Structure 1
Amino acid sequence: MSTFSSIKELLNTLSREHKLLAEMFEKRKTLSYRQEFALELVDQKEERLQYLMERSVIRPNGAFVELDEQFLRFFEQVLEVNEEINTSYIHENIGHVKQNILYYLQESSEMRRFSYLKAVKGSLVKIGRITIRNIIDLKRNIDNTFKTEPNYKVKIAKLENYDNKRVDINRLIDQTELLVTEEEETFFRAAMDVELAQIVNHLRLLLSEARNNLIEIQKQILEYLNQIRHQSRLMEKIRQLKYLKDQFEIRSKTNLMDYLRRSNDVVFETNPTYPLKLSLDYLQSDTAFEVIAKVNRKLKVGLRPRLPSAGSIATEYIMGHTLEEIHINLEEVKNGFEASGHHLFDFVMRYQFPKEVPFAERVTIFCQMLSLYENDFNVTDKFMQHQEIEFAVVYPG
């Protein structure tokens, strides 16, 4: 078995075979991945597949290939999709903290003491991150087990196992808090700097949050177990009654008929309900949004506010009024001017418009016609004056 000679070789290999590794990781929960499918993703080059096998990135399994456990765990931890609740990581980091604190207190070299202090800081950061990550995975696994596991006995066994994991995490949280507050008080007083103080304070906040989440998880597990046992007992009784009914022995071997005749209050009792708390992953999905929107639309039915009716409209507002406006057709005025023997200003002043047009408006009409039909008229160099208005003498063109 060969190993990677450098980090550069490892990164180049993962980059070159990213299609195959991504496909195998997405299908990691299936039993195995066929070797011919893997060859398609490496361009049918068996030497590339053999290269991955020699360096234990993947491993053969007959006609199939699988991701090596080491790389599979690495991908799951980095992408934070691992389902395994592993409290040994927390325990190992607590041990590393104690060992490096001991080395720090016994070391006289400042450079080596600094390296041990750095290792302590790194382990404390890992403890907080791993603890929160384990609690998130624990909560998700509990919800998935309750909602997807079809076998009642397996479901109960899994939930009880997760409860044991909860107890282990809680015990490690207590050990960590005891470590940073009492057991190694001498070290934290002697080696305390700004960075270490920030790390310790942040760690204690994370542990406090983790403890509160574990209390909620404990309540959730107890609630799920009670629901499962209630459903299990109910289903068992139903199966027994179904069996007796199929054997035509339900009347002879049970007092069901007498019980039903004596009981008059069953129909008035409400059915026991066990509300489910939806996971955050589900609430963030598009399906949950559609369901919430649908429920919201149903709840709003019949809650439309009544708008006050408007009063009756007054008669004067609905009476018809006709407005007439007389428009002066400048084209018609131009045609009349071309047929006349007068210059333009004199013609406009004498023209009979369909309405009364004052002098100032007639001067405006003169200017408009001169502007619109300048190319059709003959504008001379001669000027005349009328009521303090000087104008050019204009004849038809």
Structure 2
Amino acid sequence: MPAFQSAEQLLRDIGGKRERLIINYLFVNKHGRFDVLADLLEGDERFLHRMIAKSILVKRDEWLYLDDRILSFLERFLEVNEDIQNYEVDEKIGAIALNIRLFQEENAWKRKEVFLQKVKKAMSSLGRVVKRNVIDLGKQVQMDYKTEVNPKVKEIKISEHNNKAVKLRKLIEGIEDLLENRVFFQEANDEMLNRLSVELRYDYLRDAKVNLRELSQEIVGYLNRIQAMQAVHRKLQEVKRLKDLFELEKRSNVEALIQQQQGLFFAPRLFISTPPSLEFLRSDQGHAIISKVANKLRHRARQNSSKSGVMAKKALDTTAVKEARINYFKLQQEFFKGDTDLFQFLLAFPFETNGSLEDRVKIFCKMALMYEDRMFFTGITEVYESLRYGVILPRDPRKSKSERIENTNWLKA
């Protein structure tokens, strides 16, 4: 026997101040510990037991949840449910088709009006359900593509969303078929029915079809990217396998490729990070990591605030500071006049400020990147004070590669 015999009794038992407090807490947090909710009620545990007895709350171990019927009603009314309600669209289409058939078979007008009211009731909410499904489906596609780490799981989720989009498109076609039943609309001759038909066709279905078409193209693009990523991942796994077996150099041309890619000499180290999934962040382990990161941020903020006083004092110091400025254009002109390598040239160059070795190394890297097209990367490395550097010479189009390399023999003498 149901716990509530009327809508008045239901509203009375869930509309109180304390009931609203508990329902709102569980709706926002999805669940809550029994002792935490009791503290919200100032220790009144009997009140929670009464809500459990009336099937407003459900208790599992030490956790309390809203009853699925109340939770589903709130999610659907507020349109915050993440589930795609294709089954609801299918059921409404079936109800409309059934009542149209009963309307046409019935001869008594009073009974025909009953079936007509059921058709209008289903049509009045059908458009909103279709629109909400299209929006929720688009959000879930983007969410799973951006947050899911496992490529295979990501592909399965996106493919399932694609199946839902195809199903929803077929359901929209079924709705359009029902709206083409001119015999029914002429026999009903109802102004409200005609208005609902126009709103459903032009305010909901037309926009839903356009959005679904764009979403399908987006899904196809996502699936193609995922497959490309999986191909690269498989290739990297094969490379790692060969490397672990010490067969990479023997069974591939990796050495030749690396020698051709001179830019790798100056390339920074890549750090690839992937965002954690929302499911992980909602778990206890994810909550612990979030708390740890928050503590670090608070500690960093306190350090910055303590340094602000020191920085303010330094800002009051009006002593002029002479900034070393380097004219890279003139510097590279001087370099291309000679035949020495770039590193030795920079070591011997008389800068206005006696730059340290670290500063000269930074200038060396910056010039190699700025004038890469005018320089010749020999592939030879030398050592200066335990620092290994690449030998870079001015590019002379009149000399062959072997002649340019011969110019570096004096380095090995």
State the TM-score, normalized to the length of structure 2: 0.59
Say if 2:164 is the partner of 1:165: yes
Q: Which moved more, 1:215-224 or 1:4-13?
A: 4-13
Residues 113-139 of structure 1: per-residue CA shift (max 9 Å, x gap): 223212111111222111111001000
More helix by share: 2
Gaps of 5+ in 1: 268-397
Q: Which residue of 2 aligns with 1:128?
A: 127
User: Please, which moves more after superposition, 149-158 or 44-53?
Assistant: 44-53
CA apart distance, 1:264: 9.4
Other-structure match for 2:253: 255
**Distance in 2 between residues matched to 1:77 and 1:170, nearest whole Å:** 21
| Aligned counterpart, 2:327 | none
Contact 2:89/2:130, CA 8 A, preserved across alignment: yes
Paired with 1:27 and 1:243, the residues of 2 have a C-alpha distance of: 46
Larger Rg: 1
Give the Å deviation of 1:248.
4.1
SS of the equivalent of 2:230 reads helix
Corresponding position of 1:115: 114
TM-score where L is the length of structure 1: 0.61
Conserved in 1, the CA contact under 8 Å of 2:85 and 2:129?
no
Matched with 1:15 is 15
Report matched runs for 1:298-313 at 5 Å: none
1:155-234 mapped onto 2 (5 Å cutoff): 155-181=154-180, 184-205=181-202, 206-234=204-232
**Where does residue 362 of structure 1 map in the other structure?**
none
- Give the match's secondary structure for 1:43: coil
Indicate if the aligned counterparts of 1:2 and 1:54 stay in contact, CA closer than 8 A: no
CA RMSD, 1 decimal:
2.4
Q: Equivalents in 1 of 2:213, 2:251: separation in Å?
A: 46
Note the 1:137-152 alignment, pairs <5 A: 137-152=136-151
Structure 1 residue 43, shift from structure 2 partner: 3.5
Q: In the TM superposition, what whole-angstrom CA distance separates every residue of 1:183-230 from its partner, at most 9, and x where no partner exists?
A: x33211110322111111111112121111111010110111122222
Letter in 1 for 2:250: S
Output the CA distance in 2 between the equivalents of 1:193 and 1:154: 50
The equivalent of 2:348 in structure 1 is: none
* Secondary structure of 1:60 counterpart: strand
* Counterpart position of 2:104: 105
By how many angstroms is 1:242 displaced?
A: 4.0
Q: Which amino acid aligns with 1:130?
A: V
Contact 2:89 2:126 in 1 (8 A): yes
Cα distance change of structure 1 residues 226 and 154 upon mapping to structure 2, 3 Å threshold = same
Where 1:190 maps in the other structure, the secondary structure is helix
Cα deviation for residue 96 of structure 1 reads 1.0
- Residues in 2 aligned to 1:107 and 1:243: alpha-carbon distance in whole angstroms: 74
Can you list the C-alpha shifts for 1:95-117, whole angstroms capped at 9, x where unaligned? 11122222322334433322321
SS at match of 1:84: coil
Sequence identity (%):
31
**Hey, what's the Cα distance between the residues in 2 that align with 1:92 and 1:189?**
25
2:148–2:154 contact (8 Å) kept in structure 1:
yes
Report the AA paired with residue 82 of structure 2.
Answer: E
CA distances 1:166-193 after superposition (whole Å, capped 9, x unpaired): 0110111111101110xx3321111032
In 1, distance between residues paired with 2:256 and 2:85? 55
AA at the equivalent of 1:23: Y
Matches within 5 A, 1:1-397: 2-16=2-16, 17-28=19-30, 32-181=31-180, 184-205=181-202, 206-245=204-243, 248-261=246-259
CA offset at residue 246 of structure 1?
5.2
- Secondary structure of the structure 2 residue equivalent to 1:127: helix
Alpha-carbon shift at residue 253 of structure 1 (Å): 3.3
Unaligned runs of 5+ in 2: 266-413
CA distance in 1, matches of 2:264, 2:122: 60
Give the deviation of 1:14 after TM superposition.
Answer: 2.4
Task: Measure how far apart 1:49 and its partner are.
Answer: 1.5
SS of the counterpart of 1:65? strand
| Residue aligned with 2:64, SS | strand
Distance 1:218 1:178, change over 3 A: same
User: What is the letter of the counterpart of residue 221 of structure 1?
Assistant: I
Q: Distance in 2 between matches of 1:25 and 1:3?
A: 21
Post-superposition offset of 1:80: 0.8
CA deviation map 1:360-387 (0-9, x unaligned): xxxxxxxxxxxxxxxxxxxxxxxxxxxx
Change (3 A) 1:185 1:253: same
May I ask how many residue pairs the two structures share in their alignment?
262
Q: Is the 8 A contact 2:32 2:64 kept in 1?
A: yes
Name the aligned partner's letter for residue 19 of structure 1.
L
> 1:194 & 1:55 partners in 2: Cα distance?
44
* Cα separation, 1, equivalents of 2:195 and 2:2: 43
Deviation at 1:151, TM superposition (A): 1.5
Q: Write out per-residue CA displacement over residues 219-262 of structure 1, whole angstroms, 9 at most, x where no aligned residue.
A: 11011112222223223333443454455442123222234456
- Would you say the 8 A contact 1:101–1:117 is kept in 2? yes
Distance 1:194 1:109 in 2: 20
Question: Match for 1:210: what amino acid?
Answer: A
In 1, Cα distance between equivalents of 2:77 and 2:59: 24
Distance in 2 between the 1:43 and 1:12 partners? 22
Task: Give the 3-state SS of the residue equivalent to 1:83 in structure 2.
Answer: coil
